[in-house]
C-alpha cells in the first residue's frame, strides 16, 4: 500500500490588473489552502479579487478593498481544491497588492 506524500508550498504573487492563474492542483493531488493574505504596499487603497475555477469561476472575495499599509486574510477557513482546480487573483492596480498563499498538497 502506497502512503500519501504531503508537501507544503508557499506562493508570493504581485497582483496586477490582468487575472493571474498562479496555481493549479496537479492531477494526482488534492490541495488544502491554509492561508491567503493580501497586503497593500501601495500609496492608495486597492481592491483585490481572489477566485478559484470551481464551477468555472467562484470568487472567494470580490473587489475587496485593502487600505494603504494594511493586510487582509482572504480565507476564513481552509479551502480544498480537487485535481485540476486553480486559483487566480486580480487587482485594480499593478504591483500595489502582494498576495501570499500557503498550501498543502497531498498525493
Q: What is the dihedral of CA 39, 56, 9, 77, to 10 degrees?
A: 60
User: Per residue in 88-100, pLDDT tens?
Assistant: 999 999 999 999 9
Residue % of the chain over a pLDDT of 90: 93
Structural domain spans, the chain = 9-106
| pLDDT greater than 90 at residue 1 | no
pLDDT of residue 4: 78
Burial of 33 (0-12, 13-18, 19+ CB in 10 A): buried
DSSP string for 7-64? EEEEEEEE--SS-EEEEE--TT-EEEEEEEEEEE-SSS-EEEEEEE-TTS-EEEEEEE
Give the pLDDT of residue 2. 61
pLDDT tens string 24-72: 999 999 999 999 999 999 999 999 999 999 988 999 999 999 999 999 9
Which band of pLDDT confidence, cut at 50, 70 and 90, is reported for residue 9?
very high
- What predicted TM-score, i.e. pTM, was given to this entire model? 0.92
Nearest C-alpha neighbor of 45 from the set 67, 16, 13, 28: 67
Return the CATH fold of 9-106.
Jelly Rolls (2.60.120)
Amino acid at each position: 500500500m502506497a502512503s500519501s506524500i504531503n508537501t507544503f508550498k508557499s506562493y508570493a504573487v504581485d497582483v496586477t490588473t490582468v487575472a493571474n492563474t498562479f496555481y493549479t492542483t496537479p492531477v494526482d493531488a488534492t490541495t488544502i489552502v491554509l492561508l491567503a493574505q493580501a497586503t497593500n504596499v501601495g500609496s492608495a487603497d486597492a481592491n483585490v479579487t481572489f477566485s478559484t475555477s470551481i464551477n468555472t469561476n467562484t470568487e472567494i472575495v470580490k473587489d475587496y478593498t485593502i487600505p494603504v499599509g494594511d493586510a487582509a486574510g482572504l480565507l476564513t477557513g481552509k479551502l480544498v481544491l480537487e485535481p485540476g482546480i486553480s486559483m487566480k487573483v486580480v487587482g485594480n492596480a499593478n504591483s500595489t497588492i502582494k498576495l501570499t498563499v500557503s498550501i498543502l498538497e497531498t498525493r
